[in-house]
Amino acid sequence: MIFVTGAHGQLGSSLKKFIKSGALFFNSSELDITNIDNIKRAVDQHHPSHIINCAAYTNVEKAESETDIAFLVNELGVSNLSSVCASNKIPLIHISTDYVFDGNKNTPYIETDKPNPRNAYGKSKLAGETALLDSSTSGIIIRTSWLYSTSESNFVSKVLGMLKNDNILNIVYDQIGSPTFSDDLAELIITILAKYKFDGVEIFHYSNEGVASWYDFACSIANLSGFKNTINPVTSDKFPSKVDRPPFTLLAKDKIKSLLGIRIDHWQKSLSRCLDEKI
Ligand SMILES: NC(=O)c1ccc[n+]([C@@H]2O[C@H](COP(=O)([O-])OP(=O)(O)OC[C@H]3O[C@@H](n4cnc5c(N)ncnc54)[C@H](OP(=O)(O)O)[C@@H]3O)[C@@H](O)[C@H]2O)c1
């Protein structure tokens, strides 16, 4: 029996598509990871073999003003899961983010690069990584970037909405990274469950292949969906924000690819699959 937390989120929903039996999916009201007694009770009742933590506070903008809540979920929640997993010898699969990096590099980030988050969300996610690394459980941390899915609350849906309503779109081109289709990340996690021997805590980077700016990503969404709107590349300062975002967070995937012997689809191929499914 596998536990999946944050089941109603993008990644939780993708996992639900692929795992048809042998798993229990908990949404935030069924299993609040900030409450350790809830976690202990569920584990004592069902004795899971693994826990996949898809639960997180993910609103990067709001995290600047709701920093306490972001840390409650992204640090304390992970600390709670790590502690219960350690006591029960359950491997924990946890998801983190490219936003733990400051984005000052100009070559892909490897797992041993030093994190230096620029914003509250990134700091809270790094605190969660530290909680898991400092625990005595075995597990893995998968850092991913620019996650999107067939659901409604992500960049792809937002751009599709703008393409339907606005003639001209202004999209930033000075933030570089790689999109990740949540179905691909879900399939990676299933491969990990099948092949990986858990021992201590390891960090892996995973996104789709290729490199993009948000402008490139928006142009591909438009092209693949047949929209002809004008899309202007603009700099980030055109959208004043309290959030300091890293300019470059491309993740190097060599470690996970060689460990599992997998190939990863280019982000445009995965985007096309996602759009086919949405239509
Ligand atoms: N989205 C991205 O662009 C992105 C990029 C890099 C890394 N990541 C990481 O990837 C992972 C999955 O992200 P996602 O996009 O699938 O997130 P998501 O769609 O925002 O889903 C997160 C889920 O966590 C649940 N949750 C929040 N607080 C909780 C709590 N205290 N206890 C239990 N569940 C709680 C939320 O439930 P409610 O809706 O009920 O609050 C939501 O369903 C996260 O760790 C995220 O940090 C995401």
Instruction: List, for residues 246-263, the tens digit of each pLDDT value.
Output: 999 999 999 999 999 999
Mutate to test the pocket of ligand 1, among 98, 123, 147, 157 (most ligand atoms within 8 A of CB): 147
**pLDDT of 279 above 80:** no
What count of residues does the chain have?
A: 279
Instruction: List, for residues 231-250, the tens digit of each pLDDT value.
Output: 999 999 999 999 999 999 99
Residues with catalytic roles: 121
150-177 average pLDDT score: 96
pLDDT of residue 278: 83
CA of 12 to the centre of ligand 1 (A): 8
% residues pLDDT > 90 (the chain): 98
**pLDDT of 94 above 90:** yes
Mutate to test the pocket of ligand 1, among 57, 58, 178, 206 (most ligand atoms within 8 A of CB): 58
% residues pLDDT > 70 (the chain): 100
Closest-CA residue to 193 (of 229, 142, 153): 142
Gyration radius of the chain's alpha carbons: 18
Burial class of residue 106 (count of CB atoms within 10 Å of its CB; 0-12, 13-18, 19+):
exposed
pLDDT range class, residue 42, cuts 50, 70, 90: very high
In contact, 56 and 74? CB cutoff 8 Å: yes
pLDDT range class, residue 40, cuts 50, 70, 90: very high
What would the 3-class secondary structure string for the chain be?
Answer: CEEEECCCCHHHHHHHHHCCCCEEECCCCCCCCCCHHHHHHHHHHHCCCEEEECCCCCCCCHHHCCHHHHHHHHHHHHHHHHHHHHHHCCCEEEEEEHHHCCCCCCCCECCCCCCCCCCHHHHHHHHHHHHHHHCCCCEEEEEECCEECCCCCCHHHHHHHHHHHCCEEEEECCCEECCEEHHHHHHHHHHHHHHCCCCCEEEEECCCECCEEHHHHHHHHHHHHCCCCEEEEECHHHCCCCCCCCCECCECCHHHHHHHCCCCCEHHHHHHHHHHHHC
Pocket residues for ligand 1 (CB within 6 Å)? 5-6, 8-11, 27-28, 31-34, 54-58, 73, 77, 95, 97, 125, 144-147
pLDDT of residue 166: 87
What mean pLDDT is reported for the chain? 97
Closest-CA residue to 200 (of 259, 135, 139): 139
